[in-house]
Amino acid sequence: MEWYISVLKDYATFSGRARRKEYWMFILFNIIVSIVINVVGAVIGFEMLGLIYSLAVIVPSLAVGARRLHDTGRSGWWLLIGLIPLIGAIVLIIFFVQDSHEENNYGENPKLAAA
Protein backbone atom coordinates (compact mmCIF):
# COMPACT_ATOMS: atom_id res chain seq x y z
CA MET A 1 0.00 0.00 0.00
CA GLU A 2 2.94 2.35 0.65
CA TRP A 3 3.89 2.22 -3.05
CA TYR A 4 0.39 3.31 -4.05
CA ILE A 5 0.39 6.19 -1.56
CA SER A 6 3.91 7.31 -2.54
CA VAL A 7 2.91 7.52 -6.22
CA LEU A 8 -0.17 9.55 -5.30
CA LYS A 9 1.98 11.91 -3.20
CA ASP A 10 4.31 12.46 -6.20
CA TYR A 11 1.31 12.74 -8.50
CA ALA A 12 2.80 15.30 -10.88
CA THR A 13 6.50 14.39 -10.71
CA PHE A 14 7.47 13.38 -14.21
CA SER A 15 11.21 13.63 -13.54
CA GLY A 16 13.34 10.98 -11.91
CA ARG A 17 13.06 7.23 -12.01
CA ALA A 18 10.66 4.59 -10.70
CA ARG A 19 11.59 1.00 -9.93
CA ARG A 20 9.65 -1.90 -11.39
CA LYS A 21 8.25 -2.67 -7.95
CA GLU A 22 6.92 0.87 -7.50
CA TYR A 23 5.24 0.83 -10.90
CA TRP A 24 3.68 -2.64 -10.70
CA MET A 25 2.54 -2.25 -7.08
CA PHE A 26 0.80 1.00 -8.06
CA ILE A 27 -0.88 -0.77 -10.98
CA LEU A 28 -1.97 -3.68 -8.75
CA PHE A 29 -3.49 -1.44 -6.07
CA ASN A 30 -5.01 0.80 -8.73
CA ILE A 31 -6.83 -2.19 -10.24
CA ILE A 32 -8.01 -3.40 -6.82
CA VAL A 33 -9.26 0.07 -5.79
CA SER A 34 -10.92 0.52 -9.16
CA ILE A 35 -12.81 -2.78 -8.84
CA VAL A 36 -13.94 -1.94 -5.31
CA ILE A 37 -15.07 1.56 -6.32
CA ASN A 38 -16.98 0.22 -9.34
CA VAL A 39 -18.74 -2.39 -7.20
CA VAL A 40 -19.62 0.21 -4.56
CA GLY A 41 -20.84 2.56 -7.30
CA ALA A 42 -23.05 -0.17 -8.75
CA VAL A 43 -24.48 -1.04 -5.32
CA ILE A 44 -25.36 2.54 -4.43
CA GLY A 45 -26.58 3.29 -7.97
CA PHE A 46 -23.89 5.85 -8.83
CA GLU A 47 -21.92 4.31 -11.70
CA MET A 48 -20.05 7.58 -12.31
CA LEU A 49 -17.97 6.87 -9.18
CA GLY A 50 -15.56 4.71 -11.20
CA LEU A 51 -15.17 7.41 -13.82
CA ILE A 52 -14.43 10.02 -11.16
CA TYR A 53 -11.75 7.76 -9.65
CA SER A 54 -10.22 7.12 -13.09
CA LEU A 55 -10.00 10.83 -13.79
CA ALA A 56 -8.42 11.40 -10.37
CA VAL A 57 -5.58 8.93 -10.96
CA ILE A 58 -4.82 9.63 -14.61
CA VAL A 59 -2.03 12.16 -13.88
CA PRO A 60 -0.33 9.95 -11.24
CA SER A 61 -0.55 7.00 -13.65
CA LEU A 62 1.09 8.96 -16.44
CA ALA A 63 3.76 10.29 -14.04
CA VAL A 64 4.74 6.87 -12.69
CA GLY A 65 4.73 5.49 -16.25
CA ALA A 66 7.09 8.24 -17.41
CA ARG A 67 9.38 7.67 -14.41
CA ARG A 68 9.37 3.91 -15.14
CA LEU A 69 10.39 4.59 -18.75
CA HIS A 70 13.14 6.89 -17.46
CA ASP A 71 14.41 3.98 -15.37
CA THR A 72 14.82 1.93 -18.55
CA GLY A 73 16.65 4.78 -20.27
CA ARG A 74 13.72 5.98 -22.41
CA SER A 75 11.90 9.27 -22.61
CA GLY A 76 8.46 9.60 -21.06
CA TRP A 77 7.16 10.47 -24.51
CA TRP A 78 7.24 6.74 -25.26
CA LEU A 79 3.91 6.59 -23.38
CA LEU A 80 2.32 7.96 -26.55
CA ILE A 81 3.00 4.65 -28.31
CA GLY A 82 0.19 3.29 -26.16
CA LEU A 83 -2.22 5.16 -28.43
CA ILE A 84 -1.55 2.55 -31.13
CA PRO A 85 -4.07 -0.24 -30.51
CA LEU A 86 -2.63 -3.56 -29.27
CA ILE A 87 0.91 -3.06 -30.61
CA GLY A 88 1.47 0.02 -28.46
CA ALA A 89 0.30 -1.78 -25.33
CA ILE A 90 2.57 -4.75 -26.01
CA VAL A 91 5.59 -2.51 -26.59
CA LEU A 92 4.92 -0.57 -23.38
CA ILE A 93 4.56 -3.76 -21.33
CA ILE A 94 7.91 -4.96 -22.69
CA PHE A 95 9.49 -1.63 -21.71
CA PHE A 96 7.89 -1.67 -18.25
CA VAL A 97 9.13 -5.18 -17.36
CA GLN A 98 12.74 -4.48 -18.33
CA ASP A 99 15.35 -4.08 -15.62
CA SER A 100 16.76 -0.74 -14.58
CA HIS A 101 19.73 0.76 -16.35
CA GLU A 102 22.61 1.54 -14.02
CA GLU A 103 23.21 5.22 -14.71
CA ASN A 104 21.43 7.28 -17.32
CA ASN A 105 20.38 10.87 -18.06
CA TYR A 106 17.46 10.66 -15.63
CA GLY A 107 19.43 10.08 -12.44
CA GLU A 108 21.00 7.33 -10.41
CA ASN A 109 19.58 3.83 -10.20
CA PRO A 110 16.82 3.74 -7.55
CA LYS A 111 17.69 0.12 -6.74
CA LEU A 112 21.11 1.20 -5.55
CA ALA A 113 19.65 4.08 -3.55
CA ALA A 114 17.23 1.72 -1.76
CA ALA A 115 19.92 -0.82 -0.90
Reported as a single tens digit per residue, the pLDDT across 5-45 is 888 888 888 988 988 999 999 999 999 999 999 999 999 99
3-state secondary structure 67-103: HHHHHCCCCHHHHHHHHCCCHHHHHHHHHHHCCCCCE
pLDDT of residue 5: 87
- Mean pLDDT (the chain, rounded): 90
| 78, 69 Cβ separation under 8 angstroms | yes
The model's pTM is 0.87
Q: Which residue has the higher pLDDT, 65 or 102?
A: 65
Q: Domain-by-domain residue ranges, the chain?
A: 2-114
> What local confidence, expressed as pLDDT, does residue 9 receive?
87
